[in-house]
Amino acid sequence: MNDKAEQAAQEARGHVEAALAGVDQPVVFGPSQGTGRAKTPPRRRWPDPSVVRKPKKGLLDRLLLFVVVPVHHLTDPIGNFFDWLLDSVTFRRKRRALRGGWGSTAGSLLAAHHTSARRFLVVGRTGLHLVYVGELGSETGWSLPREQVRGVEHLEWAGGMPRKATLRFHFTDGSWGDVAVVSQAWQQMQSQFPAASGK
């Protein structure tokens, strides 16, 4: 059993290093996921990784997209207005997982997690990256220079087992977002950045 876990870790490291080849050297990485407290990002911000096999779309699928996509684009501003209105209520603000909207740095990080590919959050020597691993290989799905990360805080009130932690990443544009890191790597990841205040 231990050999399988070690082999899986080596395979993940190989995928991460292949995705970041020539761009950055990974220092620490771990599987990551959204926390579930943020609403679903708008469809236009969903990533489309090339490492995941895509099912062939038939005529019915195309017709459905022809009807659904315009509805999403029309209702997006209405939903954003109600989110802004509800975010002004203090009890909701404390439990939300995103500040700054989907167009901010934190919003782009959380939107990049909305895919079926396996995701690894990677702290490199020069940047913070999100790497997608799928059936067809690995690729970098989101990147940011380390200087644009203002700090990281571990959310104590976030439940979970010791091997899973919710980290709140604060960025220089004033936004922040919550990401769950599923491994012991969260402690090493947090130590790579300055501590951020809880505001």
CA distance 25 to 59: 44
- Amino acid code (one letter) for 122: V
Which of 119-123, 157-161, 162-166, 177-181 is least confident?
157-161
What integer pLDDT is reported at residue 84 of this predicted model? 66
Question: Residue 172 — very low, low, confident or very high, per pLDDT cuts 50/70/90?
Answer: very high
Domain edges within the chain: 2-52+97-191
Domain 2-52+97-191 belongs to what topology? PH-domain like (2.30.29)
The mean pLDDT of 66-83, rounded to a whole number, is 72
Does this model's pTM top 0.85? My answer is: no
